[in-house]
Structure 1
Amino acid sequence: MSEKLLRVGTTYIPVTNVELSSVWYVNKLDAELSYKDEDKAILNLANQSIFLVKSKEHQSSNFIDIYGEERFSLTFEVNGLDALETIHKDFIGKGIRVGDIENRGHSGRNFVFYDLDSNKFDVWSELSPIFREKYFISE
């Protein structure tokens, strides 16, 4: 097979209120709203299409690992530790629920944050080398 999957194009995130959630993502994460109806909102965020899909209460994209820990299903990348620290402070200032900056034993640092429906996301200070090269981003 010569063809292969090239990228993740869309991520679907369950939300209980499409209107409130789309406003939150636009105001808190600087997402760009490209479409919205009663059942979904389509956002452009971090070089990806994010669909906020109306779901029943207590749904989230989180899962529990074998050790009983709640895990995130999506990690955002930023360009270095300074960027991570700046975004962490910015998120706190915007009233976003965030965790501490952590050293998880691999390169870079991380922190988690949550949206209105407690969907848990990760932020990592290490930008993918392929992304860095493609978009001419220097360290």
Structure 2
Amino acid sequence: MSHFISHVATLEIPVTNLEKSIEFYIDILGVQLEFKGEKNAMLTFKAKGVPTFYLVQTEEAQGTSFTNTNNGIIHSIIDFYTPKLEEFYYWLKEKNIHVGTLNIHPENGLGGFGFKDPDGNLLSATNVLHSGQ
């Protein structure tokens, strides 16, 4: 059987205030606006192009997180890569973005942390790259 899927094209994120969310994602992630409709917007990274972020306005925020029933830890469904994890963490704190605990393994320096968009959607940042990334 052949494989039909080659990559993630779009991540759809529910937002309650489209304008505020567009500003947040452009400022925090460095993405650019590709398309803006009345109740939705498409954003993309300048360098890579994929995946795009499709912000969809909704009446109530539904969240992008879940609780790991094995350990009770709340996970985001989107992890962003940064080689400058600590710098990014403190930059977000300076911008008064809600951030979680910075977790860095003492032996290898790898780790991550969670942060929230204006609707409370949980996002994560990590300095871990997996094979093929």
- 1:48 aligned residue (51, 71, 77): 51
* Match of residue 27 from structure 2: 27
Gaps of at least 5 residues in structure 1 are: 132-139
Distance across 2 between alignment mates of 1:90 and 1:36: 28
Alignment of 1:16-95 (within 5 A): 16-45=16-45, 47-66=50-69, 69-79=73-83, 83-95=84-96
Give 2:6's aligned residue: 6
Shift of 1:4: 3.8
TM-score (norm 1): 0.80
Tell me how far 1:17 sits from its aligned partner.
Answer: 1.1
- What amino acid does structure 2 have at the position aligned with 1:29? L
User: Per the alignment, do residues 104 and 39 of structure 1 end up closer, same or farther by CA in structure 2, a change over 3 Å counting?
Assistant: farther
What's the C-alpha RMSD, in Å, of the aligned pairs?
2.3
The Cα shift of 1:68 comes to 5.0
* Deviation larger for 37-46 or 58-67: 58-67
Give the TM-score, by structure 2 length. Answer: 0.83
**Percent sequence identity over matched residues?**
29
Unaligned runs of 5+ in 2: none
Contact preservation (8 Å) 1:16, 1:54: yes
In the alignment, residue 90 of structure 1 is paired with which amino acid?
Answer: W
Bigger helix fraction: 1
Q: 1:48, 1:7 → 2: CA distance? A: 8
Match 1:127 to one of 121, 126, 129: 129
